[in-house]
Chains A and B, each alone.
Chain A
Amino acid sequence: MPKNETRFFFVTAIILVVLSVCFLFVGSYNMEFGEVLQALVARVSEPDANTPQVIAIWEIRLPRILAACLAGALLASAGAAYQGVLNNPLVDPYLLGVSAGAAFGAALSIVAGFDSTSFTAFMFALAASFLICILAWRNQRVSMLALILAGIIVNSFFISGLAFLKVVAEVGELREIVFWLMGGLYPADWVAVGKISAAFIILLVVLLAAAQKIDLMTLGGDIARTSGVNETALVAMVMVAVSLAVAVCVSQFGIIGWIGLGVPHFTRKIIGARHRRLILGSALGGAVLLLLCDTVARTISNWLDGIGELPVTVVTAFIGALFFLSVLRKQI
């Protein structure tokens, strides 16, 4: 068994805690060390405390740090499970239409003037997932090849619709759509943290329960089936759980790419491919990476005055590209 496992979990957990604490001190509102501590304590001792420092810590930084950790953990563990159950290290929920469905739903909501962009995005993300499952259903089984093709088809349909909506949108709406497409944790509040926590916990319970069977799926469908795995039930269960969780995440923070694809790759290299530890390890790694990327994005936004908030995908995609470039160079 990989000897790095314990060290990985220990070191990553420490990094996560240290970064979370450090990033309480990072933000556009300058605060001294003592002020941050006072603000932290103030809300505990006096729930109605409402100074600017208390608001910056309790209403902005703390929920945002927690949201980044939870969203990163959710996306990375979802990616690890997807790559396992589909036996393909190059897939993640975003590549298979969930993001395009959510993006289309959000854009439709913005252009049509619906009340709830998040809810519409959530519904379309789910619709995309179920459409993919229906298209991939062949001879009483979900065909893996058909599933990936169906993902590409559904993705393409929604991207086509999205392009149309961008053309017909007015300038203000277009800016809103583009910002939404690029994702960001700026809407993070305690309600969003609550939703994403619930989605992550449910996802984690389902994935950990299915982890041993996902391992068998990675030996190939034939071996999995003759080893007692009901492939169709397993794929359906993981897809539904992942789609629901990712849809919640997308509906709150827009599309945050690369975490679900890159983090499981990196984690697998260190702690091996067995999914019980890979899902947990990816969750920790995803939390650290998104927290780091979000803080980098926030810091760059503070430096470059006037551009507004830099979408976190700018940073995650850049880091993801560098990581896969290093993987590619090692393999050639």
Chain B
Amino acid sequence: MTLRLINVTVRYGEYVAANAVDMEVEGNGLYGIFGPNGSGKSSIIKAVCGLAEYTGRIEICNQVASQHGPGHLSRLFAYVPQQHEFIYRYEVLEVVMMGDEGYRLSAPDSALQDAARSALIQLSAGHLASRLVTELSGGERQLVQLARALNQNTPLLILDEPFAHLDFGHQIALWRKLRGLASQKIIVITSHDPNHIMWFCDSIFVMQSGEMIKQQRSIQLSDIEALYPGRWRAETFGSDRKFIAPDI
């Protein structure tokens, strides 16, 4: 299982959002892309998902992404965007069912419903199943999209700021789920929070101003100092674990 980016550049008009990025993910695990706003994290994610024009080469599971259509790629990765608004009044279970490949192939509803319900329960969101998606909070909508992506059953899961709208309880549920899945899939997440990256990710990529500046096993305090000089402090707890807090 691999995800490889070679010299990938993403431009929006004249603006270069990500510049000549190289990135290599090999083997299952939880991989974090960390960086400030506008550093190019989401642009890289969008390029991998085929949602942004790019130059360079992207390989997913040893297959060149640009040589395959959406149907084939959707069996390799699932994607959850940062924010999502629902326009139409679907029930939650219906949206989660849509992640299942069987949905497009018109499998019977009963089989699809069981899988969808199971995906919701894994995220402690089983109680949402019969609610209308248009009546959910931002965090609940995020959970529905996560469950839909899990239900897509792909070897690669790409999550753009998955914790942004979640309450603490659901953050814990999602981290548990992602850690549990990390032995079976490649999971790539973006995050602004150094604590999340430091505690839960197996490997990290640090981005700044559109450049991939580091790829390493864990985040270093020097990385945080380089991005946010003099605006944070580290507390130690347990034997050697660190907690990064704003220095105010």
Contacts and interface: CB of A to CB of B under 8 A. Distances in A.
A222 B69 contact: no
Interface string A105-147: 0000000000000000000000000000000000100000000
Interface string A269-290: 1001110000000000000000
Interface residues of A, number: 28
Contacts of A220: 81, 84
A230 B145 CA distance: 20
B51 A1 contact: no
Interface in A197-245: 212-213, 215-216, 218-220, 222-223, 225-231
A226 B77 contact: yes
Interface string B42-82: 00001001110100000000000000011101110111010
A89 interface: yes
A222 B94 contact: no
Contacts, number: 88
A273 B73 contact: no
B74 A272 contact: no
A162 B74 CA distance: 46
Contacts of B81: 220, 222-223
B141 to A, nearest CB: 11
B127 interface: no
B235 to A, nearest CB: 38
A268 B89 contact: yes
18 contacts: A1-B109, A139-B53, A212-B103, A215-B98, A215-B103, A216-B104, A220-B84, A223-B148, A225-B50, A226-B73, A226-B79, A228-B75, A230-B70, A231-B70, A272-B91, A272-B94, A273-B89, A274-B94
Given A218-B87, A218-B88, A272-B94, A226 B101 contact: no
Nearest to A218: B88
Interface of A: 1-2, 84, 87-89, 139, 212-213, 215-216, 218-220, 222-223, 225-231, 268-269, 272-274
A227 B99 CA distance: 7
A226 B94 contact: no
A84 B79 CA distance: 21
A268 B88 contact: yes
Contacts of A2: 91
Contacts of A218: 87-88, 90
A228 B77 CA distance: 10
A269 B103 CA distance: 22
Nearest to B154: A226
A19 B75 CA distance: 49
B86 interface: yes
A146 to B, nearest CB: 15
A266 B98 CA distance: 23
Contacts of A274: 90, 94
Nearest to A215: B98
Given A219-B84, A222-B51, A268-B88, 7 more contacts: A87-B87, A216-B104, A219-B95, A220-B81, A220-B84, A222-B46, A268-B89
